[in-house]
Chain A
Amino acid sequence: MFKLLEIKDVSRNFAGFTALDKVSLAIAAGEFFTLLGPSGCGKTTLLRLIAGFDQPDGGDILLDGKSIIATPPERRPLHTIFQNYALFPHMTVADNVAFPLRMVGCNKAEIERRVSAALKDVSLPDKAGHYPDALSGGQKQRIAIARALVNRPRLLLLDEPLSALDAKLREQMQLELIKLQKEIGITFVYVTHDQGEALALSHRIAVMNHGAIAQVDEPSRLYGFPRSRFVADFIGHCNLLAGKVMQLQGDRVLVELAGLGAVQVMMPPDVTVEVGSACTLTLRPEKINISSSLSQDEVQAHFKGVVHDMLYLGDVTVYKVELVNGMLVEALLANSSPGRARFFEVGDQVEVAWLSDAGHLVMD
């Protein structure tokens, strides 16, 4: 992997508060990389350090293997898409897009050619003469992207660029961003606190929490194999069942769930599991099955429960089932599934079951 951007042990403190704590990341050329984390976890702080608007208190930032810490923002070969677009209100769309080219002294013909190409890239070629205040939110967003990409930076930083758009438009812009990034091949570092957006867009995601990186992985691995309770909980919906490691059985682990009994779980990859240590079984709602009749299948973990709550969502129904130990687990049932004879009602006695490879173990 060719490392385009490398962040090495970067720290940033604000008056005693640690916003970033020894963060290290390596981002490859051509990657769509996302920084994901709850509000206040330091995503914007990290992005501002990469852009050069702020200086780290420790560590180094390398672009193409060379430190850019001492380079002022205007001379870093990367651009930022700001959350509020920051289009220049006194310039036409064409002048806005031409701005970075003017700053490096391109000639007129060249500017004209590249501006119209950039506007075509974002499918707004007929807006060149308009002023920003005559554009809709989505159009402003696209112009901001065209402006940032017109002189082909090495890296594009995007700080929650879609958060101001409504859901429908956001989805459309997500698809456009993926397409655009693929077409022009520029590395994107994308900031969001919306895990759905991160999963949909990214090649790789860094999940951040309290100024530190919790896990860096591909979306499917992040979803399927979280390394910690935090990541499991933050990415998608997840049932977290506290337990204790009882026994190691080759590629399986026997886990005692508090108040429920022992279940078999797959041995998690790249983690050392010790007998006797506390752990959490993470179970995605869609991997839990509920049925009315008792299943005798030995490979399945199964427990009795009572439907506590249900949420009909059209395509799926979410059931909250209270287990015998008083714990609530969430199960997701597709309403189209073939064997669906009937809906369960609140108060129904049900059987909750999952396959032994459905759960994923994280150590506490």
Chain B
Amino acid sequence: MISKSWQQRLLTLPPLGYLLVLFAIPTLIMLFASFRYTGEYGGLAPWYAYKDGGLTLELTLENWQRLFETDIYLRLFVKSIGYAVFTTLLCILLGYPLALMIARSPRKHRDLLLLLVILPFWSNFLVRIYAWMILLSPNGAVTQLINSIRDVFGLAPVSLMYSASAVIICLVYVHLPFMVLPLYANLEKHSSALLDAAQDLGANRWRRFWNITWPLSLPGVYAGSILVFIPVLGMFAIPDLLGGTDGVMIANVIKQQFVESRDWPFGSVLSMVLTAAAVLVVLLGAKFGRQGGR
């Protein structure tokens, strides 16, 4: 008995090791940095000093106070979470029908369809964003299409570039496969016997979906949402390139603190809050996903 539980504990060591090295230690370093002073030329100042012949700690709460001095940062957090939620919802809305269609298509077509879903990964991320910059530019195909439709309804033309819409469009485009793949993996396993049984017991198409397919797919929805939500929350490249002033997200400010302002302690404060927000969402999602997937 004892030796068995020892073995089990040994088995959990490698994943724990990964978590420790790749997540816990960096996070603790970041947390520590958030209490330090900025160095003379940016970066971090030493966290201890010899003064009056003794060793003193050079730590401060100033960086955290700064977070709450204005509401700029908190608003930016709320806005970014809003973007992430909206992007995730759009990905579910667009990705679910696609995943369902692939899962229900003849087995011989499925691999090809999945290949098409991940095809965008074969080209560089930045290249794809630049492509969207062209599409969304005033003379770009997407902008022109939208404006010609608006024209039919007598609406004034809009500019998409450097706006929140451009950011959301690209966020959805980039993250859609991360929603489709876990959803497909889940939906593909559903047995058609359950749908037959539901139909036999009086459920029409609509009810079969909402009573059987949807609840059984919630773990997939949850997994896909995590895979979309977390990276979107930390995304800075897309708002940087397409967002203008309108589409700035919190990660842009974090990047700015580390790169341009070289204010590492305050950057660390913002990063900690972002990490905390992400962990919170994952925990909430896990709870919801477990209940739903029952």
A residues near B (Cβ < 8 Å) are 51, 53, 72-75, 79-80, 82, 84, 86, 88-90, 99-100, 103-104, 131, 147-148, 151
Q: Is the CB of A103 within 8 A of B202?
A: yes
Q: Do the beta carbons of A131 and B294 come within 8 Å of each other?
A: yes
Task: Tell me if B202 and A80 are in contact (CB < 8 A).
Answer: no
CB pair A73 B212 closer than 8 Å: no
- Taking CB atoms, residues of chain B closer than 8 Å to A88 are 194, 197-198, 211-212
In the complex, which of the residues B191, B196, B203 contacts A103, with contact meaning CB atoms closer than 8 Å? B203
* Sample of 13 A–B contacts (CB below 8 Å): A53-B196, A53-B199, A74-B199, A75-B202, A86-B193, A86-B196, A88-B211, A89-B216, A90-B215, A90-B294, A99-B198, A99-B203, A131-B294
Name, among B199, B201, B207, B211, the residue most crowded by chain A CB atoms within 10 Å (CB to CB).
B201
Q: How far is it, in angstroms, between the C-alpha of A351 and the C-alpha of B201 when the chains are bound? A: 60
Contact residues in B for A80 (Cβ distance below 8 Å) = 196-197, 200
In the complex with contacts A89-B216, A99-B211, A84-B193 CB distance below 8 A: yes
* Nearest chain A residue, comparing its CB with the CB of B293: A90
Q: How far is the CB of A266 from chain B (nearest CB, A)?
A: 47
Contact A147 B201 (CB under 8 A): yes
Decide: A103 and B197 in contact? CB cutoff 8 A.
no
Identify the closest chain A residue to B207 (Cβ).
A103
Given A88-B212, A90-B293: A79 and B201 interface contact (C-beta under 8 Å): yes
Are A82 and B294 in contact, with the CB atoms below 8 A?
Answer: no
User: CB within 8 Å of A: which residues of B?
Assistant: 191, 193-194, 196-204, 207, 211-212, 215-216, 293-294
Alpha-carbon distance between A51 and B198 when the two chains are bound, in angstroms: 12
Distance between Cα atoms of A100 and B293 in the complex (Å): 21
Find the B residue at minimum CB distance from A73.
B199
The interface residues of chain A lying within 8 Å CB-to-CB of B216 are 89-90
Residues in chain B near residue A73, CB distance under 8 A:
196, 199-200
- Minimal Cβ-Cβ distance residue in A for B193: A86
Instruction: Pick the most buried of A80, A82, A99, A100: most chain B CB atoms within 10 A of its CB.
Output: A99
Residues of B within 8 A of A103 (CB): 201-203, 207
B203 nearest CB neighbor, chain A only: A103
Evaluate contact between B203 and A86: CB separation under 8 angstroms.
no
Q: How far is the CA of A72 from the CA of B194 in the complex (A)?
A: 17
Whole-angstrom distance from the CB of A56 to the nearest CB of chain B? Answer: 18
| A156 nearest CB across to chain B (Å) | 11
**Pick from A51, A86, A100, A131: contact of B202, CB under 8 Å:** A100
Closest B residue to A78 by beta carbon equals B200
Q: Are B212 and A74 in contact (CB under 8 A)?
A: no
Q: Which of A51, A89, A90, A131 contacts B200 (CB 8 A)?
A: A51
Which residue of B191, B199, B293, B294 has the most chain A CB atoms within 10 A of its CB atom?
A: B199
